[in-house]
């Protein structure tokens, strides 16, 4: 019989502790499939953040390091500079990447470090119980914006792909989602492209994944997916924000 789907050897068999309906688990699979299919599993070193995905070092079946909140890009920089032949990724949430670790994000991008960042934007601080994130939408409730985020009190959410696209350093920036099967396929393609560019030593790549956090959004999983589509996508438009000119042409030709 033909095998159409199987568990990727890129993940360990440790059961994941993510909540039902959470986006993290899906993205873990995509990242693992991507480095495995590119033949890089044995040369990959991953960085786990502080956040719900702190346990990523248990799940990714590759050499892993877990570090301080927000510092993934600096850690990945240190690893990559010492082991340039390895594939290095940093997996981060929005509090981790766009709040406490903003400096590390911007400067690793500006230096065009040859690393890949997998950025889970779920508009909330998951692990600490649903506080406001730098990506929490205007009007969205959180435990530290109980009446909904307001511009007056909290300012605006940060659009990371747009912000980073203003820098010369990044080579590839794309925002995707995992709200339906077609989107998942697209997300995987984006992650694979980012890894491919890293293998080609082109420089800084980041894939932002709009993700759902049913638990801290206080929603059923399906309603959470609906929120990703109806509320997040209009504010955080999906698409490619930066890509190498030559591969843009090559991709267009293929498709």
Ligand X SMILES: Cc1ncc(C[n+]2csc(CCOP(=O)(O)OP(=O)(O)O)c2C)c(N)n1
Positions that interact with ligand SF4 (CB under 6 A): 18-19, 22, 24, 52, 122, 126-127, 213-216
Question: Nearer to ligand SF4 by C-beta: 122 or 198?
Answer: 122
- Choose the contact partner of 104 out of ligand X, another protein, ligand SF4, none; CB within 5 to 8 A by kind: another protein
Q: What angle do CA 185, 48, 175 make, to 5 degrees?
A: 35
Could you tell which of ligand SF4, ligand X, another protein, none binds residue 145, using a CB distance below 5 to 8 A set by kind?
A: none
Of positions 47, 109, 206, 224, contacts another protein by CB under 8 A: 47
Q: Does 103 bind another protein (CB under 8 A)?
A: yes
Please report whether residue 51 would count as binding ligand X according to CB under 6 A. yes
Contact pattern for another protein over residues 164 through 183, marking x by CB under 8 A? --------------------
Of residues 120 through 179, those in contact with ligand X by CB under 6 A are: 120, 122, 124-128, 133
| CA atoms of 210 and 23, how far apart (whole Å) | 8
Chain centroid, CA 152 distance in Å: 29
Q: Which of 27, 47, 48, 52 binds ligand X (CB under 6 A)?
A: 52
**1: which residues sit within 8 A by CB, 6+ positions away?**
none
* SS3 category, 92: strand
Ramachandran angles phi, psi of 165, nearest 5°:
-65, -20
How long a stretch of residues is the chain? 255
SS3 (DSSP) at 57: helix
């Amino acid at each position: 019989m033909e095998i159409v789907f199987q568990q990727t050897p890129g993940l360990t068999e440790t059961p994941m502790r993510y909540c039902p309906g959470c986006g993290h688990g899906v993205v873990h699979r995509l990242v693992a499939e991507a480095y495995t299919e590119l033949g890089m599993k044995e040369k990959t070193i991953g960085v786990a953040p502080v956040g719900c995905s702190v346990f990523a070092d248990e799940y990714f079946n590759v050499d892993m390091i877990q570090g301080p909140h927000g510092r993934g890009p600096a850690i990945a920089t240190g690893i990559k500079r010492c082991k340039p032949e390895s594939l290095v990724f940093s997996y981060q949430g929005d509090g981790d990447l766009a709040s406490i670790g903003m400096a590390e994000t911007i400067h690793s991008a500006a230096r065009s470090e040859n690393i890949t960042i997998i950025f889970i934007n779920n508009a909330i601080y998951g692990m600490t119980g649903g506080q406001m994130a730098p990506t929490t939408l205007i009007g969205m409730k959180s435990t530290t914006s109980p009446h909904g985020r307001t511009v007056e009190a909290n300012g605006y959410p940060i659009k990371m792909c747009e912000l980073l696209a203003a820098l010369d350093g990044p080579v590839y920036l794309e925002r995707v989602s995992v709200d339906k099967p077609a989107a998942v396929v697209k997300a995987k393609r984006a992650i694979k492209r980012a890894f491919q560019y890293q293998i080609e030593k082109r420089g800084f790549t980041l894939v932002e994944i709009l993700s759902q956090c049913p638990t801290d959004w206080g929603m059923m999983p399906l309603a959470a997916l609906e929120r990703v589509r109806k509320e997040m996508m209009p504010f955080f438009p999906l698409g490619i924000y930066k890509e190498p000119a030559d591969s843009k042409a090559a991709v267009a030709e293929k498709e």
